[in-house]
Amino acid sequence: MLLTLLWAVASSCAFTLVSALGSACTSPLGAGTAAAGDPYWLESIQHRGTAAFNPDPANYVVFRNVKDYGAVGDGSTDDTAAINAAIQDGDRCGGSVGIETVCNSTTITPAVVYFPSGTYVVSTPIIAYYTTQLIGDPNNIPTLSASPSFAGIAVIDTDPYIDGGSGAQWYFNTNSFFRSVRNFRIDLTAVAGGATGLHWQVSQATSLTNVVVDMSQGADSQHQGIYMENGSGGFMGDLVFNGGKFGIWVGNQQFTVRNITINNAVTAIHGSWNWGWTFQRVTINDCSVGFELESGSIDGDAQTVGGEAIIDAVVSNTPVFVQSTTATTSLAGSLVLNNIQLTNVPTAVGIADGSVVLEGGTTTIESWGQGNVYEGTGTTGTFVQGEIVSANKPSSLLDGNGHIFGKGYPQYEAYAPSQFVSVKAEGAAGDGITDDTQALTDIFSKYSGCSIIFFDAGTYVVSDTVTIPAGTQMIGEVWSVLAGKGSAFQDVENPKPVFRVGESGDQGVTEISNIIFQTIGPAAGAIVVEWNVAEPADSQGGAGMWDSYIRLGGSEGSEQDINTCPWTSTNNYDPCMSAFMALHLTAGSTAYLEGTWVWLADHFMDGDGYTRLSLYSGRGILSESTGPVWMIGTGSEHHTLYQYNIVNAANHYMGLIQTETPYFQPTPAAPTPFTYREDYNDPVFGDQITEALGLNVINSQDIIIFGAGLYSFFDTYSEDCVDTRNCQQSIANIDSASSVTIYQLNTVAITYQLSVDGVGIINQADNINGFTSTVTAWSQ
Ligand SMILES: *[C@@H]1O[C@H](CO)[C@@H](O)[C@H](O)[C@H]1NC(C)=O
Ligand SMILES: *[C@@H]1O[C@H](CO)[C@@H](O)[C@H](O)[C@H]1NC(C)=O
Ligand SMILES: *[C@@H]1O[C@H](CO)[C@@H](O)[C@H](O)[C@H]1NC(C)=O
């Protein structure tokens, strides 16, 4: 009670001060001034990052330079032990005793493990613990060189198997969040036998970017760039694989891959199983097979590849682009090929026995599909192995080559340390307790557009709306947390932004990366991020977020944990309201969102790491933007009314989108405990639509959805409905006034995969494709 009162005072005080200030900076940032060969700014700056909710924040070290732990990087010293010591320092979350894991997950021991330039020889895996970012110097990319005697699953391992052959691992493969690896060359060429670059068995909130894996070349190579056998991802991009038996060998529920190149592998991409993956802009040169897909299992336990949606691939000198292991004459593995440019690729789609489904050559495939195709309100699909609908692609979404535009994670490698400002050096506390509203407001006002704003690791609490001005470039450190708390965010009738990115009508290059936005304690009136900013005309993708998440509840310090909001407590709404809405893209904004995961926690990540919570967030992502909007590898889960709501919008490319319905529904049915708000364009619930919509599209034009995984695994916390495939009646609703193309719509346990104007159209029973039901294309 006392705490509440103090917060109220702090909040009104801060508000008064805000209006008194507000001078803009005078010397714009301009180009980077780092000299060639300089170390990356992250290496040189003073390190002030802390883990706010660690039991010992004063002594827990967030930033670790591997050289400070004895790594040499001279190309001959074995640095394995030093690198792993750098990762493990500080009672981190990982390890096992017998065949039991020691820690399923945590948010209180984040670590950045930094590698200066050098060649680091390793002989056993580097184990990337929970909430670890491994970052190399992007200007002088370090090499991780597997020694000739290398032994272990991979050079970088995200989820070790525990000895004993039980199959047990350190972490749950579907809850393996918060990993990032960037700026490395991994060299396997010294290893004569089998070797793997990364065991990348990960889930949401993970990113793998700017990595090259060099492998031996030739038909007898036993190397592979990535081994991923399961998980629930995720995004990766800007990757290059040279040589190998497999460029990447991958199985995971869903994933989005943007901009990868595979040269001289035997098989560029091996798909073992999935529900649906989106590959955007793949380049394959001089391989034997491009995509080799395990196929054919339409029921039973052995799920194979449910779907691949491939857009803007460029393939050269490769005999077969896509090859399935078995012939498909009915739905058993959906395939979408969009704008595929082949040069000397005799077979575009074939079967392992040598038969050809689609001839290749030197040609462009505009839009081809395999699977069930629907149109408008038609309730009957047609199985197609051939041309399918070609979505109109607005030019604002495309780059100069006619590909869907993509823009990698801004790392500011051209900038010198003097061009950054540390929010802690400027007076923000980031300790999870202090009210940083005024400090952050002052920092933005003083430095936006003039310095890159570095959020040292920490949790920055605000008690009132903070505007992140248009023109701000800000980057966090192992997901710096920006959190709204207190009385300002309680009124569900009058919701208020916690962070407002630009004011309505603003333009400016605005970049946010490596940040988590959240709330602390109840916040029924919080719009966690209101996004108003638009990219300037000369800067495509100039307003965006990378590797940044909205995470509500479920973490230490969130005050919404197993004590306050256990799943077993019913009608316990007030303390467990996490937000009114997570992310609002307002009319007039544009947005490039890559890897954005908008998650209301379904379990508590600290403590035992698996006990469920009952939390309530009204709405996931509302977009009223007329574009361009790119949502590349995004997810939105467990919000009460909807996950994605696209209203009066236009010009969106969304691929892949992943959603989950709240586990408690339909007890109570949506929108309880929230109420319908016409002014926020809420969907209307009725006879057929009684639970959260994964996707709702109203009065919107040119919405392209390139891969969707819309899931409902529970009916009032019971999973029995998964087997009977009917946890929920409807999950995707499009009104008849919208023009939308959806490729590869995968649903789990939804009776009607798609509804038009609230009426169920596509019955999942007609599209069973292993664990999911799959519509290969639907358009209107
Ligand atoms: C993960 O994948 C491996 C290899 O396919 C499989 O043996 C294992 O059972 C899977 N584990 C889980 C938990 O699904
Ligand atoms: C694609 O990835 C490569 C390798 O990281 C990079 O050099 C290139 O700039 C990326 N292209 C785009 C459009 O992001
Ligand atoms: C990890 O989760 C499992 C539930 O699957 C639980 O039995 C175990 O106790 C947890 N381990 C720890 C260390 O909390």
- Is residue 14 in a domain? yes
Residue 304 CB-half CA count within 13 A: 18
Position 342 scores a pLDDT of: 98
Judge whether 604 lies within some domain: yes
- Which of helix, strand or coil describes residue 489? helix
pLDDT, residue 615, reads 97
Calculate how far, in angstroms, residue 179's C-alpha sits from the geometric centre of ligand 1.
20
Residue nearest to atom 6 of ligand 1 (CA): 229
Q: Measuring from atom 3 of ligand 2, which residue has the nearest CA? A: 238
Token pair for residue 115?
């590698």
Q: Is the CB of 554 under 6 A from ligand 3?
A: no
> Residue ranges of the chain with pLDDT lower than 70?
1-24, 297-301, 327-332
Gap from CA of 43 to ligand 2 centroid (Å): 23
Question: What atom in ligand 1 is closest to the CA of residue 272?
Answer: 5
Is residue 360 in contact with ligand 3, taking CB distance under 6 Å?
Answer: no
Ligand 1: atom nearest CA of 229 is: 2
CA of 187 to the centre of ligand 1 (A): 27
Whole-angstrom CA distances from 124 to 147, 160, 196, 344, 506 are 9, 12, 11, 40, 51
Interval between CA 274 and ligand 3 midpoint (Å):
26
Question: For the chain, how big is the Rg over CA atoms in Å?
Answer: 25
Alpha carbon distance 553, 595 (integer Å): 19
Residue 412 lies in a domain: yes
Question: In a mutational test of the pocket of ligand 3, which residue from 91, 101, 556 has the highest number of ligand atoms less than 8 Å from its CB?
Answer: 101
* 681: its two tokens: 């364009």
Ligand nearest to the CA of 199: 1
Q: Which amino acid is at 233?
A: G
Ligand 1: lining residues by beta carbon, under 6 Å: 167, 173, 229-230
- Residue of minimum CA distance from atom 10 in ligand 2: 238
Which of 230, 252, 297, when mutated, tests ligand 1's pocket best, judged by the most ligand atoms within 8 Å of its CB? 230
State the residue range of the domain holding 444. Answer: 1-59+406-627
Our CA angle for 637, 643, 649, nearest 5°, is 150
Phi-psi region of 51 (alpha: psi -120 to 50; beta: other; left: phi over 0): beta
Q: Report the nearest-CA residue for atom 12 of ligand 3.
A: 608
Shortest-distance ligand to the CA of residue 281? 2
Q: Is 209 in the pocket of ligand 2 (CB under 6 A)?
A: no
Question: Ligand 2 centre and the CA of 239: distance in Å?
Answer: 8
**Which amino acid type is present at position 309?**
A
Angle (CA) 21-25-26 rounded to 5° is 135
273 Cα nearest atom in ligand 1: 5
- Kindly state the helix (H) or strand (E) to which residue 248 belongs, with its residue range: strand 246-263
Looking at ligand 3, which residue's alpha carbon is closest to its atom 9?
Answer: 608
Residue to probe by mutation, ligand 2, list 181, 209, 259, most atoms within 8 Å of CB: 259
In a domain? residue 309: no
Q: How far is CA 577 from CA 138, 386, 570, 660, in A?
A: 41, 48, 13, 18
User: Could you read off the pLDDT of 230-285 as tens digits, one per residue?
Assistant: 999 999 999 999 999 999 999 999 999 999 999 999 999 999 999 999 999 999 99
List the CATH number of the domain containing 566.
2.160.20.10
CA of residue 280 to ligand 1 center, whole Å: 26
Give the Cα separation of 108 and 17 in Å (integer).
Answer: 33
Report how far ligand 3's centroid is from the alpha carbon of 99 (Å).
12
SS (HEC) of 397-409 = HECCCCCECCCCC
The answer as to whether 230 is a domain residue is no
For residue 174, which atom of ligand 1 is closest to its CA? 13
Residue nearest to atom 4 of ligand 1 (CA): 229
| Shortest-distance atom of ligand 2 to CA 259 | 1
Per DSSP, helices labelled H in 327-452 are 437-447
pLDDT at res. 328? 63
Q: Tell whether 265 is covered by a domain.
A: no
Query: Would the CB of 453 count as within 6 Å of ligand 2?
Result: no
Residue 601 covered by a domain = yes
Among all bound ligands, the one having the nearest atom to the CA of 104 is 3
Domain membership flag for residue 553? yes
Phi, psi of 476 (to 5 degrees): -95, -170
Ligand 3 contact via 608 beta carbon (within 6 Å): yes
> Cβ atoms within 10 A of the Cβ of 224, count?
27
Confidence at residue 325, expressed as pLDDT on a 0 to 100 scale: 87
For residue 273, give the DSSP letter.
Answer: E
Beta strand ranges found along 124-234 (DSSP E): 126-127, 132-136, 143-146, 156-157, 179-187, 195-199, 206-214, 223-228
With 0-12 / 13-18 / 19 or more C-beta atoms within 10 angstroms meaning exposed / middle / buried, residue 343 is middle
Nearest ligand atom owner, CA of 168? 1
| Ligand 2 within 6 A of CB of 408 | yes
Q: Which of 162, 166, 176, 610 to mutate to test the pocket of ligand 3 (most atoms within 8 A of CB)?
A: 610
- At 348, phi and psi to the nearest 5? -80, -50
Non-local (6+) Cβ contacts of 382 within 8 A are 372, 373, 374
- Domains identified in the chain, total number: 1
Nearest protein CA to atom 6 of ligand 3, as residue: 608
